[in-house]
Amino acid sequence: MNLNWQKSSYCSEGNSCIHIATSAPTAIHLMESGDPTPSILQATPAAFSALLATLKTEAPHV
């Protein structure tokens, strides 16, 4: 499967960035560019939306 990866707009210059790609309306793929394996997580759009909503509402960890 050939995915068109996009880097997170929150990623500054460096090696550890989150990348996202979609392969169909039912699948969202995530990977971290600093991961040497490289592991790819797959989620449904609903699960990814819930993750983003949780991340936006949680207090930042310092």
Per-residue pLDDT at 25? 84
Tell me the C-alpha to C-alpha distance, in Å, between residue 45 and each of 21, 35, 61: 11, 23, 25
Please tell me the total count of domains within the chain.
1
Q: Given CA atoms 61, 35, 4, 45 in this order, what sign does their dihedral have? A: negative
Per-residue pLDDT at 59? 62
Per-residue pLDDT at 60? 67
Per-residue pLDDT at 56? 84
In a domain, 10, yes or no: no
Of 26, 31, 21, nearest in space to 1 by CA? 21
Q: Residue 42 has which token pair?
A: 């797959």
In a domain, 25, yes or no: yes
| CB distance 15 to 36 below 8 Å | no
In a domain, 30, yes or no: yes
In a domain, 42, yes or no: yes
Per-residue pLDDT at 28? 94
In a domain, 12, yes or no: no
Q: Which residues of the chain have pLDDT under 50?
A: none
In a domain, 23, yes or no: yes
Per-residue pLDDT at 43? 94
Domain span including residue 50: 17-56
